[in-house]
């Protein structure tokens, strides 16, 4: 057993695990910045950490279970390692603070979803055990400390917090509050700092990105902000996430289709396609409008990469409604799709609706939907073989030390596939032209063609047969 490190003896160390969505990851990066300002050194090994922080997700039941399992696993280092403080933060705490405080005595401090900066008080030693503020209190600022954890030359940038939508299945307004958009000047200042530090790709994210600025009185809107960001010197790629399925304005479509640094990539969670299900989900539109929207986007942005997400097993979904979703998927031929099994969340309207779907039936539908999508993805990847694509190199692959992973413009970090390239003719954080030579269901492999080959060039790797990339984000 390694003895605990005496507090105050030399530089203190911190290990942080971030679970859930990219928005949570940004909060984790702020907490790492706070720790750095307090003089703590980040360590990859929890056994070497004086302070361990777990930033939790509480969105659905599976995420809550994962969060609790992670807390219990890391709590062991209070006995086996030198950890003297275990801090749990994020959405799970925001929703279940009292219960967690009662059931997890090994946790020293609990912070809510709006309390990233409050970690400073914890590290200074003057914080109560329970420090959970109002979710409406937190909006990131360019002046907040932040330490990036993304690979290569990529970063996430939050445009807003919270959400004003009232989808029947969702707890985000409870966990994060109503929408609070950042000032455009503040967002641009953050992007300028990131670009000056070598970031080439910014991924713009919020819970409802298309609604950016509607809560502000200064006239801020999404398209003008995106255009300002795209003009930041040094930046090469700007990507948008979480565009709610409504009529996108012409100015935004013009940027997506014509600006050289705004990627033609649309991430739009559609959730379902059957009219009856969209009504039950309180999405505010029907399946016909979704089809019209996809057609309009593809007319205006011919090279668009379309990503979406769907929920199966929501109350009221029978075989007829599910078959309608499958038919929509075959028609739409989307590039990337995520599927989630419905999780009944306490306090949401969906949880009390009739016609609840058995978990086994929902699991079967999820498999059937992804079987259809896998064929679509395989064909789209195969069509890229022989093409030359610009690829942003992220870093070494887990497959082999002789292989690097990168992404082309149609692949978002951590949720889509990757491009494998051989080591020796590219470095992490660089953009290169790559000729695609192989493909699988989701991944590609190729060779760099805009740099001189090394003397001993390794052969191109054979991509994996399939890929399950929906993994929790773990920092450290």
Q: Which domains can be identified in the chain, with CATH numbers?
A: 13-135 (3.40.50.12160), 154-382 (3.80.30.20), 388-448 (2.40.50.140)
Cα–Cα distance measured from residue 435 to residue 445, given in angstroms and rounded to the nearest whole number: 8
Q: H or E stretch including 135?
A: none
Contact 340, 309 (CB under 8 A): yes
Q: What is the pLDDT of residue 4?
A: 44
**Rounded (to 5) percent helix, strand, coil in the chain:** 35, 20, 45
Nearest C-alpha neighbor of 373 from the set 403, 423, 344, 330? 330
Q: What is the pLDDT of residue 145?
A: 95
Q: Which two tokens stand for residue 122?
A: 């914890």
Closest CA to 149 of 475, 468, 375: 475
First to last CA, the chain: 22
Where do the DSSP E strands lie in 254-402?
Answer: 262-267, 305-312, 336-341, 388-396
**CA 213, 217, 220, 221 torsion-angle sign:** positive
Per-residue DSSP letter, 19: -
Question: Cβ distance 24 to 57 under 8 Å?
Answer: yes
- Ramachandran quadrant class, 180 (left: phi over 0; alpha: psi -120 to 50; beta: rest): beta
Tokens standing for 187? 């967002």
- The CA–CA distances, whole Å, from 123 to 37, 52, 97, 138, 347 equal 10, 11, 20, 19, 34
Cα 318 to its chain centre, rounded Å, is 30
CA–CA separation, 99 and 75 (whole Å): 17
φ and ψ at residue 237, rounded to 5 degrees:
-130, 135
Q: For residue 74, count CB atoms less than 10 angstroms from its CB and return exposed for 0-12, middle for 13-18, buried for 19 or more.
A: buried
Q: How many Å apart are CA 132 and CA 50, to the nearest integer?
A: 23
State residue 458's pLDDT score: 38
- The reported pLDDT for the residue numbered 43 is 92
Pairing of strands 180-181, 154-158: unpaired
Closest CA to 331 of 306, 311, 312: 306
Q: How far is CA 178 from the centre of its chain?
A: 20
Q: Is 467 buried (19+), middle (13-18) or exposed (0-12) by CB count in 10 A?
A: middle
Here the contacts of 110-113 (C-beta below 8 Å, separation 24 or greater) are 111/87, 113/27, 113/89, 113/138, 113/175, 113/176
pLDDT of res. 472? 24
Angstrom CA distances, 24 to 179, 207, 470, stand at 16, 11, 15
Tens digit of each residue's pLDDT, the chain (476 residues)? 333 444 445 689 999 999 888 898 999 999 999 999 999 999 999 999 999 999 998 777 788 889 999 999 999 999 888 999 999 999 899 989 999 999 999 999 999 989 999 999 999 998 999 999 888 888 999 999 999 999 889 999 999 999 999 999 998 888 888 999 999 999 999 999 999 999 999 999 999 999 999 999 999 999 999 999 999 999 999 999 999 998 889 999 999 999 999 999 999 999 999 999 999 999 999 999 999 999 999 999 999 999 999 999 999 999 999 999 999 999 999 999 999 999 998 889 999 999 999 999 999 999 999 999 999 999 999 999 999 999 999 998 887 778 899 999 999 998 899 999 986 678 889 999 999 999 999 999 999 988 655 443 333 343 333 333 322 222 32
Q: DSSP code of 456?
A: S
**pLDDT score at 469:** 30
Beta strand pairing call for 262-267 and 237-240: parallel
H-run or E-run covering 65: helix 61-75
């Amino acid at each position: 057993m390694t003895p605990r490190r005496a507090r105050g003896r030399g530089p203190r160390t911190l290990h942080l695990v971030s679970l859930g969505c990219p928005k949570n990851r940004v909060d984790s990066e702020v907490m790492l910045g706070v720790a750095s300002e307090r003089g703590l050194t980040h360590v990859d090994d929890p056994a070497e950490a004086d302070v361990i922080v777990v930033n939790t997700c509480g969105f659905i039941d599976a995420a809550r279970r994962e969060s609790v399992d992670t807390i219990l696993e890391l709590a062991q280092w209070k006995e086996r390692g030198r950890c003297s403080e275990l801090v749990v933060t994020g959405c799970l705490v925001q929703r279940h603070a009292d219960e967690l405080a009662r059931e997890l005595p090994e946790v020293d401090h609990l912070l809510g979803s709006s309390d990233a900066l409050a970690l400073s008080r914890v590290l200074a030693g003057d914080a109560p055990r329970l420090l959970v503020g109002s979710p409406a209190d937190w909006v990131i600022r360019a002046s907040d400390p932040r330490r990036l954890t993304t690979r290569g030359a990529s970063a996430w940038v939050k445009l807003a917090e919270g959400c004003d939508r009232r989808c029947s299945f969702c707890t985000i307004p409870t966990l994060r509050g109503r929408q609070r958009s950042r000032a455009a000047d503040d967002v641009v200042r953050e992007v300028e700092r990131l670009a000056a530090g070598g970031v080439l790709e910014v991924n713009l994210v919020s819970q409802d990105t298309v609604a950016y600025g509607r809560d502000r009185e200064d006239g801020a809107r999404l398209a003008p902000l995106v255009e300002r960001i795209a003009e930041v010197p040094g930046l090469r790629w700007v990507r948008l996430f979480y565009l709610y399925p409504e009529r996108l304005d012409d100015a935004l479509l013009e940027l997506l289709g014509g600006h050289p640094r705004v990627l033609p990539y649309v991430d739009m969670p559609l959730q379902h396609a059957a009219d009856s299900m969209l009504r039950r989900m309180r999405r505010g539109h029907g399946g016909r409008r979704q089809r019209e929207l996809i057609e309009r986007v593809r007319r205006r942005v011919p090279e668009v990469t379309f990503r979406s997400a769907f929920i199966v097993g929501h109350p009221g979904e029978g075989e007829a409604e599910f078959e309608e979703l499958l038919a929509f998927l075959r028609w739409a031929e989307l590039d990337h799709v995520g599927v989630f099994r419905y999780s009944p969340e306490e306090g949401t309207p969906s949880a009390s609706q009739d016609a609840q779907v058995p978990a086994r039936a929902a699991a079967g539908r999820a498999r059937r939907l992804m079987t259809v999508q896998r064929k679509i993805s395989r064909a789209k990847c195969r069509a890229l073989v022989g093409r030359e694509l610009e690829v942003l190199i992220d870093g070494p692959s887990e497959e082999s030390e002789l292989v690097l992973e990168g992404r082309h413009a149609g692949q978002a970090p951590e949720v889509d596939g990757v491009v494998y390239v051989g080591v020796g003719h590219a470095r992490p954080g660089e953009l290169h032209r790559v000729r695609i030579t192989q493909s699988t269901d989701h991944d590609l492999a190729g060779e760099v063609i805009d740099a001189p080959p090394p003397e001993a060039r390794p052969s191109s790797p054979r991509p994996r047969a399939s890929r399950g990339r929906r993994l929790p984000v773990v920092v450290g």
